[in-house]
Amino acid sequence: MSDSATTAEPEKAGAFREVFEAAKTVVYALLIAVVLKTVVFQPFTIPSASMEPNLYQGDYLVVSKFSYGWSHHSIPFSPPIFKGRILDRTPERGDIVVFKLPRDGHTDYIKRIIGLPGDRVQMKADRLYVNDMPVPRREETAIQGVGDNASGRDVEHFRETLPGGRSYLTNDFGPGGELDDTEVFVVPAGYYFVMGDNRDNSQDSRLPAAIGVGFVPAENLVGKAQIVLGSWGPGMSLFKPWTWITEARWGRFVHGLY
């Protein structure tokens, strides 16, 4: 056997080991990413204006999976491998939650929890009622914003304070909206009533599940929205690096949600 053949065999073995180690590193990294996304956190991008003025289309935020325990919807693609929730924890009124749309079980939605199991929720003359009591609200300064306001309609901010003390801003385009007067919704056991903060532009629990959201099963909760990491305007493109700077909403980087 020649010296060249003897040398080639260790070189091939060494190259194979390098490829194997590199592949193993990639597999480990993917497994860690899947575990983190399944068990701990999930990134989420706001797709619409339904949560303005608190969340804007283009906000990039982090959702904690452990806040309410885990269901099969905590796993990517929602495989139906078990029922119910593991280490179930009850959300609070006012929490901003990501959940799977009840009518398809796959589409991610984000809204604010307004009604807990057993609560009575109603919109009456443009006011929110919980358990037959009007939710206190205070008018803030009228503003010109983004999203719907591009249509030219004036928008007002109202600060609502839910039972329990959670306070937040809402958008309102005036009385007479399609969902400003509703029936009384009694939230069933094991379900939640959710609404968007942009009250005149939100498909939520005020609409039946066939066309809106309806009541959200506890099993469909994915997690609690915790922090906005960054935010970009509609002109941002991954293929235009300069827009990463020009379209950034710097004032919305790294702030908590309440």
Nearest alpha carbon to residue 143 among 180, 174, 171: 171
Q: How far is CA 96 from CA 11, 31, 32, 120, in A?
A: 57, 28, 27, 19
Over the chain, what HEC string results? CCHHHHHHHHHHHHHHHHHHHHHHHHHHHHHHHHHHHHHHEEEEECCCCCCCCCCCCCEEEEEECCCCCECHHHCCCCCCCCCCCECCCCCCCCCEEEEECCCCCCCEEEEEEEECCCCEEEEECCEEEECCEECCEEECCCECCCHHHHHCCCEEEEEEECCCCCEEEEEECCCCCCCCCCCCEECCCCEEEEECCECCCCCCCCCCCCCCCCCEEHHHEEEEEEEEEEEECCCCECCECCHHHHCECHHHCCEECC
Q: Is 100 a catalytic residue?
A: no
- Among the options 50, 71, 74, 202, which is catalytic? 50
- Among the options 71, 111, 202, 205, which is catalytic? 111
Q: Is 24 a catalytic residue?
A: no
Active-site residues, by number, are: 50, 111
